[in-house]
Amino acid sequence: LQWFRQAPITSHQLLMTAYHPLGTCHMGRDPRRSVVDPEYRVHGVQGLSVVDGSVVSGPLGVNSQLTVMAFARRAAEILHRQLEEEDT
């Protein structure tokens, strides 16, 4: 802390970082503008889904854990429904 107090640094020279990277696999219906569809399936790749913070559209301003857990639960429900449909 002493170094920061003595260093000639202004707030304009500081960079804020986030340690919850999100949004690297955008979700959407259009394969040209997104990586996964609303059911977490990767466009154009059969049998591959992405279910993590990658599908979040951008910074949340809070820890992303609950959001990712909600996505995981929804994805599990979707997968369960799909497996039940295959059995009928």
Alpha carbons within 13 A on the beta-carbon side of 29: 0
The residue written with tokens 């951008």 in the block is 58
80 is catalytic: no
Name the burial class of residue 28, with classes exposed (0-12), middle (13-18) and buried (19+) by CB atoms within 10 angstroms of its CB.
Answer: middle
The catalytic residue among 20, 26, 43, 80 is: 20
Structure tokens at 51: 């279910």
Contact yes or no for 37/29 (Cβ under 8 A): yes
Q: What would the two tokens of residue 57 be?
A: 């559209």
Catalytic residues, by residue number, are 20
